[in-house]
Amino acid sequence: MLLKTSEIRELIRLLDETSVHELHIELEDGKIHIKKADTLSYAPPLSHVDVPVAAPAAVPAPVVSEVTTSVTPTFTPPAESSAAAAEEGTVLIKSPMVGTFYAAPSPTSPPYVEVGSKVTEKTVVCIVEAMKLMNEIEADVRGEIVEVIAENGHLVEYGQPLFRVKLA
């Protein structure tokens, strides 16, 4: 019996809420393998290191490292998850850079926002840290946080959804 898309989506949502990183289920007529994006070995494209907010600078030509390596970027977008699924009237706040996502200013502080928090364009919703630059990320939209997608302390990539906001 194949699972319905909505059931797979629910599985992904449940997985997102746990510390389990990978799930493998074998059914009579198929297999499902779900793996969280941040557990993949991730080699970001060089251009992603640039902070897009600093546009319009030209993206520097990729620099070929002198390291001879067989490693190629292994990040592949995760299977459609709650994060990527479109929901009417909502928008995603995405990471403008590769870095570590922090939901709160310090480990002992409450998070900047939670599900139910009202935000305006200038509300700081999180910090993304790269090279020890603590970069405050603003909502850029007005509405209400309906989902916190990224996990505190985990690496996020350029363009990865961090929050879902229901537009006001």
For residue 31, what are the contacts with CB-CB under 8 A and spacing of at least 6? Answer: 24, 25
Tell me whether residue 1 or residue 57 sits nearer to other proteins (CB atom): 57
Both tokens of residue 114?
Answer: 């939670």
Q: Cβ distance 35 to 78 under 8 Å?
A: yes
Tell me whether residue 18 or residue 106 sits nearer to other proteins (CB atom): 106
Both tokens of residue 146?
Answer: 């309906």
Closest contact distance (angstroms) between CB of 88 and other proteins is 29
Question: Three-class SS of residue 6?
Answer: helix
Closest contact distance (angstroms) between CB of 55 and other proteins is 7
Tell me whether residue 42 or residue 166 sits nearer to other proteins (CB atom): 42
Total Cβ atoms within 10 A of residue 156: 25
Closest contact distance (angstroms) between CB of 41 and other proteins is 8
Tell me whether residue 4 or residue 122 sits nearer to other proteins (CB atom): 122
Both tokens of residue 153?
Answer: 């302390």
Closest contact distance (angstroms) between CB of 161 and other proteins is 16
Cα distances (angstroms) measured from residue 91 to each of 56, 58, 167:
24, 28, 7
Residues in contact with other proteins by CB under 8 A are: 38, 41, 43-44, 46, 49-51, 53-57, 60, 63, 65-67, 69-71, 97-100, 102, 105-109, 122, 124, 129-136, 138, 153-155
